[in-house]
Chain A
């Protein structure tokens, strides 16, 4: 998209300006408030406290693991959605993108039904392998992967769709096997989308609350990730909640800056 060389004279109608200002206030004031109320002097103490370090460690571990799952399973799924000529693909796409809009707590309930100790799959996991996902760290990872994977899938699928398939034809005429083409041509061509999808998925996993607390509970050191620790701290020490929130805000800001070329470039489509 190009901007016109001559700047057009634009006047913002007053009602629109007022409503826009209210919107900015609605979105901006809470964030400014968070920065203002963050106990900066206590920050080092709070962040080194056992509750915070445990929550930080769990959050990092679970979000990275969930992102890894999303990459390993999500790229093949995106490939199938973009390329496979089998009936039912639209239904599968609708199914896998549903977690994007599903209330996370519903996701948590659904996960309990599937993987709970008496769940559809969970009962066999427990009876045969003694595996119990709910209220475990693994459960947190499952919950985060559940909500985060769709971000990666739709990003990568879009890239696969818009990638020129003739590059793969060119590689084929040069003698490349399908596996060689996938590794040396297809995946490198969509690498930027994979990175963007992974960052989005990781950010979503990091902030995950509803599905986690429903499916995995809120056990410090086991399932209490940062957002859950913030929620818990609101009842005990508000300044701890503010401090941990500040950390999450900083991470979100960093993600936004990292992806600015993709989502923030003005008028980019």
Chain B
């Protein structure tokens, strides 16, 4: 394991206590809302902050061990750090920015510049070598920051919200380029993001943080399909219900939901993809086991589709086509029925 870490730390309103590991070449996405302890974790890994207690091992080197009194400075850790707003040195050219790491470690100027040049070529930004950071676009600056962090060949690469500084128009293309570049990194990669899409696209494994605690670990597909936290569910648009399962029925507050799985029992999470929910004028008859009446509280365009929120018990969101909206004359305040087949539900232990 290239990275093995446990970090505990007090924040003003909660305690961070997480365990994290990553293999060489693996990209771990630390996903969570703002203020969930993600950045603190990253800063502890880099040595920019010291945890109250914990231990961090990077490629077999103990860089942090609170019980043994070890707390290596950032410069002594084999870590590359890409900051949220990149923090390229404004007084240095792109080439000098990338050569900064080797120079700081005592590499001769000529060799440092040659190494920097190699990375600029690898990231297809060699033509920017003489520019100052102020003359770069967001995507270019990100590549320079990545090259600067990787030129010293770190065992651990950290990225703090690597796409947050970009405008929506360029995010998608930069994201896919970043994915390509991250897949070629030798060491372990930990990236922090509050955007599930970034985590889904960039990470091999997602660690969901809430209030300083790990609430879920899994592959991106897993986390998206079966979110264990309201935060992720809301962001991926999934309806998330918590309840008690028994004999194929889950009691969710005052409502009862029929699920396909009769074996599951105890506290569970029911995830309902909004695409699986049908909207009707009248109480539907048919194979759908679950039907709920309610009033439409909002209609919202989502790309080519429309998200319909209904104040049923429990409140649910469905996704329908604009054609269906017109055909059913859906509008805010309209009385409708929702239905979903038991087999279209995802049920898993909470």
Residue A25 lies at the interface, judged by CB distance under 8 Å to chain B: no
Q: A180-B104, A184-B100 are in contact. Are A173 and B74 (CB under 8 A)?
A: yes
Would you give 9 A-B contacts (Cβ < 8 Å), ordered by A?
Answer: A164-B87, A167-B87, A169-B87, A170-B89, A172-B73, A173-B47, A176-B100, A189-B91, A191-B91
Q: Mark A151-188, 1 if CB is under 8 A from B, else 0.
A: 00000000000001011011111111100100011001
What is the CA–CA distance of A171 and B105 in the complex, to the nearest angstrom? 11
The listed residue (B74, B75, B91, B103) touching A188 by CB distance below 8 A is: B91
Do B90 and A175 have beta carbons less than 8 Å apart?
Answer: no
The listed residue (A171, A173, A189) touching B80 by CB distance below 8 A is: A173
Q: How far is the CB of B107 from chain A (nearest CB, A)?
A: 10
- A172: which B residues are within 8 A, CB to CB? 47-48, 73-75
By beta carbon, the residue of chain A nearest B96 is: A184
Do A167 and B89 have beta carbons less than 8 Å apart?
Answer: yes
The listed residue (B79, B90, B92) touching A173 by CB distance below 8 A is: B79
- B91: which A residues are within 8 A, CB to CB? 188-189, 191
Q: Mark B52-78, 1 if CB is under 8 A from A, else 0.
A: 000000000000000000000111010
Interface size in chain B (residues, C-beta < 8 A): 24
Do B79 and A171 have beta carbons less than 8 Å apart?
Answer: no
Q: How far is the CB of B26 from chain A (nearest CB, A)?
A: 20
Q: Which residues of B37-61 have CB atoms within 8 Å of chain A's CB atoms?
A: 46-48
Interface SS of A by simple majority: helix
Do A174 and B87 have beta carbons less than 8 Å apart?
Answer: no
What is the CA–CA distance of A189 and B133 in the complex, to the nearest angstrom? 13
By beta carbon, the residue of chain A nearest B105 is: A175
What is the CA–CA distance of A177 and B76 in the complex, to the nearest angstrom? 9
Do B83 and A171 have beta carbons less than 8 Å apart?
Answer: no
Residue B205 lies at the interface, judged by CB distance under 8 Å to chain A: no
Q: A185-B89, A189-B91 are in contact. Are A177 and B75 (CB under 8 A)?
A: yes
- B47: which A residues are within 8 A, CB to CB? 172-173
- A164: which B residues are within 8 A, CB to CB? 87
Q: Mark B245-268, 1 if CB is under 8 A from A, else 0.
A: 000000000000000000000000
Q: A174-B104, A176-B100, A184-B100 are in contact. Are A169 and B90 (CB under 8 A)?
A: no
20 further A-B contacts with Cβ under 8 Å, apart from A169-B83, A169-B87, are: A166-B83, A166-B87, A170-B89, A171-B89, A172-B75, A173-B79, A174-B101, A174-B149, A175-B105, A175-B152, A176-B104, A177-B75, A177-B104, A184-B100, A184-B103, A188-B89, A188-B91, A188-B92, A189-B89, A189-B90
Do A175 and B75 have beta carbons less than 8 Å apart?
Answer: yes
By beta carbon, the residue of chain B nearest A185 is: B89
What is the CA–CA distance of A179 and B188 in the complex, to the nearest angstrom? 29
Residue B119 lies at the interface, judged by CB distance under 8 Å to chain A: no
Do A174 and B100 have beta carbons less than 8 Å apart?
Answer: yes
The listed residue (B83, B87, B89, B104) touching A175 by CB distance below 8 A is: B104
Q: How far is the CB of A194 from chain B (nearest CB, A)?
A: 13
Residue B292 lies at the interface, judged by CB distance under 8 Å to chain A: no
Do B48 and A174 have beta carbons less than 8 Å apart?
Answer: no
Q: How far is the CB of B133 from chain A (nearest CB, A)?
A: 11
Do B73 and A174 have beta carbons less than 8 Å apart?
Answer: no
Do A170 and B87 have beta carbons less than 8 Å apart?
Answer: yes
Q: How far is the CB of A177 from chain B (nearest CB, A)?
A: 6
Q: How far is the CB of B59 from chain A (nearest CB, A)?
A: 15
- A189: which B residues are within 8 A, CB to CB? 89-91
Q: A188-B91, A189-B91 are in contact. Are A170 and B104 (CB under 8 A)?
A: no
Q: How far is the CB of A3 from chain B (nearest CB, A)?
A: 23
Q: Mark B84-108, 1 if CB is under 8 A from A, else 0.
A: 0001011110000000110111000
Nearest 10 interchain pairs by C-beta: A176-B104, A174-B101, A173-B81, A172-B74, A170-B87, A188-B91, A175-B105, A175-B104, A175-B75, A173-B74
